[in-house]
Amino acid sequence: MKALVKAEAGPGLSLTEVPDPTPGAGDVLVRVLRTGICGTDLHIDSWDEWAARTVRAPLVLGHEFTGEVAAVGSSVTDVKVGDLVSGEGHLVCGACRNCKAGRRHLCANTRGLGVHENGAFAEYVVLPEANAWVHRAPVDLDVAAIFDPFGNAVHTALSFPVIGEDVLITGAGPIGIMAAAVARHAGARHVVITDVSEHRLELARAVGVDLALDVSRRTLAEAQVELGLTEGFDVGMEMSGQPVALQDMIGNMAHGGRIAMLGLPASDFAVDWSSVVLKMLHLKGVYGREMFETWYSMSVLLERGLDLSPVITHRFDHTDFREAFATARGGKCGKVILDWTGAA
């Protein structure tokens, strides 16, 4: 089969022939239809310090995907051939304390599809039955392909109640924009999102945020005045990984405010812990998706009319992966989709 491979340590990827994967007894074999390009894939492509430390070549990339089940192992009971599935890319051990307690998203032994194990940038991918989310209702294939990052957004956005609350989101990347759409859909009073990219802020406006703020031009204090806020934001979602974003968020939270952090900083930075204590703020780290409560929420949100179409801005045939990766790296885009249904 054709697959997008990190053939050896160093920059670059190649579209090449690799052996077809074989499902084990508890696995499903999925014929890949669409994949989404993630920031993780860009890191592996460029072979930065994180990738060199984490990835062992050769490796098939990709963890955002949807496809049709082509075969199932002998122990598979619920997933059927022909089912349309998206894949949960966190492969957990099943044996640690958290896994046994049903808290699989907290498994300390998690391995990543397309990072530690061969992934979905291929014509076929194998994953455990438990990691295959079957779509029971009609869903757009491009949207189904991004259930992984959509799950990050939903997990973050629903970490704290948002009904009637004033919500601040820092970082208008695709996940931040999806989180804004979820918060608005879930009943937030005001949703403010910040960035320094006008292109990304325009995408955020397309999903209906109340204010998309360029923080290189205006401050959050000015945003509060514009919206008539008198005590700060109730719920914060930090998506950027930028130190100044969290620092500014803490400075503009209401007393008793709650902050969910998904953005991953590149290095240590100072935090005004006095404000955290004196304001009695709650800070929660978010990684991946709750398995599988978040997935239920995602499907229901879409069934009840949540529209993610503005977030998906570019589509390419998988053979045009170099142009697709360049587009994703350039930043003037939302989610970038690769189509695997055409002939290679």
Q: Where are the alpha helices (DSSP H) in 124-189?
A: 141-145, 147-157, 174-185
286 marked ligand binding residue: yes
- Spell out the residues 6+ positions from residue 118 whose beta carbon is closer than 8 angstroms to its own: 3, 21, 59, 60, 125, 126
Which listed residue (16, 22, 35, 43) is catalytic?
Answer: 43
- Known binder of ligand: residue 117? no
Closest CA to 201 of 177, 225, 226: 177
Residues contacting 34, CB < 8 A, separation 6+ = 65, 66, 67, 141, 142, 144, 145, 337, 338, 339, 340
Token pair, residue 270, equals: 């100072």
Does 296 show up as a binding residue in the annotation?
no
Known binding residue 333? Answer is no
Residue 53, marked binder: no
Q: Is 107 exposed, middle or buried (0-12, 13-18, 19+ CB in 10 A)?
A: buried
Annotated catalytic residue 43: yes
40 catalytic? Reply is yes
The first and second tokens of residue 341, run together, are 């249904």
287 labeled part of a ligand binding site: yes
Q: Is 175 annotated as a binding residue?
A: yes
Residue 262 in marked binding region: yes
Tell me which of 16, 22, 35, 40 is the catalytic residue: 40
Residues 114 and 121 sit within 8 Å (Cβ to Cβ): yes
Q: What is the 3-state composition of the chain as percent helix, strand, coil, each rounded to the nearest 5?
A: 30, 25, 40
> CB neighbours (10 Å) of residue 137?
8
In 3D space, the residue among 15, 108, 8, 90 whose CA is nearest the CA of residue 52 turns out to be: 8
- Count of other CB atoms within 10 angstroms of residue 183: 27
Query: Do the annotations mark residue 64 as ligand-binding?
Result: yes
37 is in an annotated binding site: no
Tell whether residue 263 is among the known ligand binding residues: yes
306 vs 317: CA distance, rounded Å: 27
Q: Is 195 annotated as a binding residue?
A: yes
The annotation status of 148 as a binding-site residue, yes or no, is: no
Annotated binding-site residues for NAD(+) read 175, 195, 200, 262-264, 286-287
Annotated binding-site residues read 38, 63-64, 93, 96, 99, 107, 175, 195, 200, 262-264, 286-287
Catalytic residues: 40, 43
